[in-house]
Amino acid sequence: MTWKLPALAEMETAASLIYRSMPPTPQYNWPLLDQVAGTEVWVKHENHTPVGAFKIRGGIVYMDALLRESPKVKGVVGATRGNHGQSMGFAARLAGIPAVVVVPDGNSPEKNAAMQALAVELIVAGHDFQEACECADQIAGERGLHRLPSLDPLLVRGVATYCLEFLRGAPALDTVYVPVGMGSGICGMLAARNALGLKTKIVGVVSTGAPAYKLSFDAGRAIEHPVTTLLADGLACRSPNEDALRAIIAGVDHIVAVSDAEVAAAMRALFTTTHNAAEGAGAASLAALLTERVRMRGKRAGVILCGGNVDAEVFARVLAGGDQ
């Protein structure tokens, strides 16, 4: 199935819906962070949403459309490493329907607890996200539940609202660094940039331990790759989505791969300069900017702190100088 990036009117309608449940998130320039990066940096704080991550926006928009199309839906089921699951739980609770979320073995205990606090039925199955997806497919068939996708035009439409806020709220940005998991965030940024007619460069960020999108972008075709990252689990994509990849190839300037050690350094930098906690994926865009600090000197950069849901034990090790 081929889908198009959302138009401006679609994103603005989505924003109106989302703002019934949460306010826009802020974008701030932090002078201490400028010193670390060697240039002017604006941070989009998606760690300030009610679930601590940007995914909530897509969940609200998707669930609203689902209930209008299928008002008698029995419930929903999906797979996640955490933030998408919290989005599902938040939106399902708003809608008054049950949600089942499948997570792989070894998933973040604190993300699991956050999902359960939203009345999600949590099931642990599989060694990685792909196997969790296969389990979710099976449950959908057995229980007659709606299978929530990990990437969908409606999810992109919702997520794109943070991109509109950022590009409208910050001064003109030369480059925005966007973390890439399944692709909704970077597709949303492409949609917002294009709809506003801006020349802002968009740079994707992946983990060296999950390089599928970078390999695919460089090759011009989808390439699968095993996932080994331990810290940036929000970037743990093994197989690129064809529609997202098509949009990324068409509109992204380039893609940077960052190591867990570089992500950990960025997590420390964000905490010491802004006192914001970032999960691995949430710090990845700053990590990429820091690797390109020479290229970006004298330019205005944007980074997406897409989530702050890091386990306390992991964060303590990172702040102490570890990388996982």
| Residues 28-80: tens digit of each pLDDT | 999 999 999 999 999 999 999 999 999 999 999 999 999 999 999 999 999 98
Compute the distance between CA of residue 131 and CA of residue 123 in angstroms, rounded to an integer: 12
pLDDT at 324: 66
Compute the distance between CA of residue 188 and CA of residue 219 in angstroms, rounded to an integer: 23
pLDDT tens string 259-290: 999 999 999 999 999 999 999 999 999 999 99
Nearest to 278 by CA among 308, 323, 303, 311: 308
Q: Domains in the chain and their CATH numbers?
A: 8-53+153-319 (3.40.50.1100), 55-147 (3.40.50.1100)
Place of tokens 């809608």: 95
What is the full DSSP assignment across 156-183? HHHHHHHHHHHHHHSSPPSEEEEE-SSS
Q: Cβ distance 159 to 58 under 8 Å?
A: yes
Q: Does 1 score more than 60 pLDDT?
A: no
Average pLDDT score over residue span 141-158? 94
Q: Cβ distance 101 to 80 under 8 Å?
A: yes
pLDDT tens string 78-102: 998 778 899 999 999 999 999 999 9
